[in-house]
Amino acid sequence: MKTRRIMGLGAAAMVAAASLSMGTAGTASAANGGCRGWTDPGTYPESIQLNACMFPNGQWTAVVRTPETDIQMWYQVMDKPAWQSGEPTYAVTPPTVLATGRGDFFVFDGSVPVATSHCYYLRVWFVDGSRTYGYAESPGACA
């Protein structure tokens, strides 16, 4: 897993452009992957926002915007057979801490092996103190 920390307005433009080129914002579905899009600014305290991206080749990207609060950021990749409807049911990775900190943007990249006829979803959430918030889930990326 690679971690990058991006700061400033130029970073916001870069992440927005990357999100547009990676997929259309929306809710999780058995689609061709891409990015969920930013959670609404008022969804979580302190203007924290999450964006989860998953791609058919197993690559994933999680972006967290946490301008003023130290938080612990988490992720998990989930899986379900392509023919199955509903939520993903199998954990490909255990819940894993990405980082603890604050800053304009945290960008995390990773990958998982994929199996034919399966759909993969990235879930991103955070912990602030003793409270857990989220998760944001990517659209399904089916191999």
Q: What is the pLDDT of residues 114-123, one digit of tens each?
A: 999 999 999 9
pLDDT tens for 81-113 read 999 999 999 999 999 999 998 877 889 999 999
Which of 74, 89, 76, 75 is CA-nearest to residue 119? 89
Torsion of CA 108, 33, 35, 105, to 10 degrees: 0
Q: What is the pTM of this model?
A: 0.79
The whole-number pLDDT of residue 25 equals 33
Q: How far apart are CA 77 and CA 92, in angstroms?
A: 5
Is 68:61 a contact under the CB 8 Å cutoff?
A: no
Write down the pLDDT at residue 69. Answer: 83
Q: Is the pLDDT of residue 18 over 60?
A: no
Residue 53 neighbours by CB under 8 Å, 6+ apart: 19, 22, 23, 33, 34, 35, 36, 60, 61, 62, 63, 122, 138
